[in-house]
Amino acid sequence: MALDDPTPSRDPPAFPIVGVGASAGGLEAFTELLANLPPEPGVAFLFVVHMEPHHKSQLADILGRVTPLPVAEATEGMPVQANHVYLIPPNANMALTDHSLTLTPRPAVRAPHMSVDHLFRSLAAVQKSRAVGVILSGGGTDGTLGLQSIKAEGGITFAQDEKSARQNSMPRSAVSDGCIDYVLSPPEIARQLVRLVGHPYTQAPPRHQLPGDLGRRQDVVDAAVADQPLQTGHHPAPHPAADGPARQGRPARLPAAAPQ
């Protein structure tokens, strides 16, 4: 489905923006995630996957067959809208700048290309506490440092569970680092995203994390986990001391997930 072409606005997006990073096996995982969303989930998805830099991408055609959401390869300055999916183009880095996407050429270096970190850091810088990062199947460690940035701003982070991931080193790296809130299968990530979107924490304007936010953020995570049966695969990741003091406060119950 083609994307709309609205007149750009200077206001920041008034909806959560979800960054999704992946490599080998990640396309299948993202397809599963999209297939388990309602027709209008209320978020925008920015999808970065490792790919050959000089091959034409078929991602838009592939993903457009499995979701009613508009899907398109990102272009420079493209405005970001809710209920849309934006894909990284070949041989580029993609970042969020205010309400639109910015593309820069992929560096011509022999070192690993950390395009997921690049996107996640931009999400943290723009969306602050409303940033959401998801790391799916893939090899290497790309995404871990970017998820650290999202977590530092009070955002919410997800990793695909090892059982469902074809390649688990990318999600395993992030989980081992302690910067992940949820470890779930792609369908479970989709359902949890829908629930989080309806919570007041993710509806508040983007801002830097304030001293009182840490407890409120953890209430959101703890309440969502408490509403799930244990077999969902969630396990709490360790929180580094840099995250701040012990959390306090009674969790507020999140709304139930929308029926699929």
Q: Give me the domain span that covers residue 75.
A: 17-105+112-243
Kindly state whether residue 64 falls inside one of the protein's structural domains.
yes
Kindly state whether residue 1 falls inside one of the protein's structural domains.
no
Kindly state whether residue 249 falls inside one of the protein's structural domains.
no
DSSP string, 59-121: HHHHHHTT-SS-EEE--TTPBP-TT-EEEPPTTEEEEEETTEEEEEEPP--SS---HHHHHHH
Q: What is the per-residue pLDDT across 93-145, written as a single tens digit (0 to 9) for each?
A: 999 998 899 999 988 777 678 999 999 999 999 999 889 999 999 999 999 99
Kindly state whether residue 6 falls inside one of the protein's structural domains.
no
Interatomic CA distance for residues 205 and 129, integer angstroms: 8
- Exposed / middle / buried, residue 133 (Cβ in 10 Å: 0-12, 13-18, 19+): buried
Q: What is the per-residue pLDDT across 147-201, written as a single tens digit (0 to 9) for each?
A: 999 999 999 999 999 999 999 999 999 999 999 999 999 999 999 999 888 776 6
Which of 88, 71, 76 has its CA nearest to residue 23? Answer: 88
The pTM score is 0.78
pLDDT for the residue 190: 96
pLDDT confidence tier of residue 246, bands split at 50, 70 and 90? very low
Which residues are identified as catalytic? Answer: 23, 50, 142
Dihedral pair phi/psi, residue 244, rounded to 5°? 120, -170
Q: What is the per-residue pLDDT across 191-242, written as a single tens digit (0 to 9) for each?
A: 999 988 877 666 666 555 555 455 555 565 555 545 543 233 444 443 333 3
Kindly state whether residue 33 falls inside one of the protein's structural domains.
yes
CATH of the domain at 29: 3.40.50.180
Interatomic CA distance for residues 228 and 113, integer angstroms: 36
Kindly state whether residue 176 falls inside one of the protein's structural domains.
yes
Give me the number of domains the chain comprises.
Answer: 1
Kindly state whether residue 8 falls inside one of the protein's structural domains.
no
